[in-house]
A = this chain, B = another copy of it.
Amino acid sequence: MLVNINAVSAKRQNALGELGELSRSRIFLSEFKYNRGAEIYGETETADYIYQVLEGAVRSYKLLFDGRRQIGAFHLVGDIFGLENGAAHRFTAEAIVDTTVRLMKRRSLEHVAETDVVVALDLLIMTTGNLQHAEDHMLLLGRKTSLERVAAFLLEMDRRLTAKSVMALPMSRRDIADYLGLTLETVSRALSYLHAKGILGFLGPTQRQIVLLDRLRLAELDL
């Protein structure tokens, strides 16, 4: 559901690192805001738009009938998502916190890609990046222990989330668990263990602000 609309407010000049040629074509239409928890699109819905996170964070997931959930990716500031190269979305996307996205019509992008080989290759590069992430995640989900998974998660977020020393995780323990194929209790225990070992520290009153105190030992835990 669209919660709040700020159409065509082009004041933001965000870092478009991965956009390549797309950033040069003026086909991003407008901004939208989604409240925390709001659904951006549902699995199997027709893919009319693609999105870029300007502020906030998004989770993409699949559900089984009985409610088991697998989060395939978190989308952070700057990330592009919803790029399915097909008629229908393959994940449900939800705002984890209040989130602003920029969006464009998928058909106009397709149209450009059909004639402009540079845009087509940009799409290929982005899709390849998504594929590589999924391939690494299969190894994690199929063969790593709970501690290895949590260590890998922290290192991924450390790399992606910010240059600052403090990691402000937007997602809950349950989100992390559903990303790592664990339960929230197991995630919590792994984090407590890393805390006790002096590998990380907690900051705020909530436990979502984490400082990595020993990236080397953390990396040794992720094989």
Q: Which residues of B contact A84 (CB under 8 A)?
A: 128
Q: Which residues of B contact A64 (CB under 8 A)?
A: 139, 143-144, 223
Bound: A116/B116 CA distance, A: 9
| Known contacts A65-B223, A142-B141, A223-B64; is-contact A135 B135 (Cβ 8 Å) | no
Segment 153-186 of A: residues with Cβ below 8 Å from B: 178, 180-181
Interface of chain A: mostly helix, strand, loop or mixed: helix
How many chain copies does the complex carry? Answer: 2
Q: How many residues of A contact B (CB 8 A)?
A: 41
Q: Which residues of B contact A180 (CB under 8 A)?
A: 142
Q: What is the CB-to-nearest-CB distance from A94 to chain B, in angstroms, rounded to a whole number?
A: 16
Stretch in contact with the other chain, from A7-15, A96-104, A118-126, A202-210: A118-126
Q: What is the CB-to-nearest-CB distance from A89 to chain B, in angstroms, rounded to a whole number?
A: 11
Bound: A131/B135 CA distance, A: 9
Kindly supply a per-residue 1/0 record for chain A positions 19-58, scoring 1 wherever the CB is within 8 Å of any chain B CB and 0 otherwise.
Answer: 0000000000000000000000000000000000000000
Tell me if B139 and A138 are in contact (CB < 8 A): no
Residue in B65, B116, B143, B178 whose CB lies within 8 Å of A70: B143
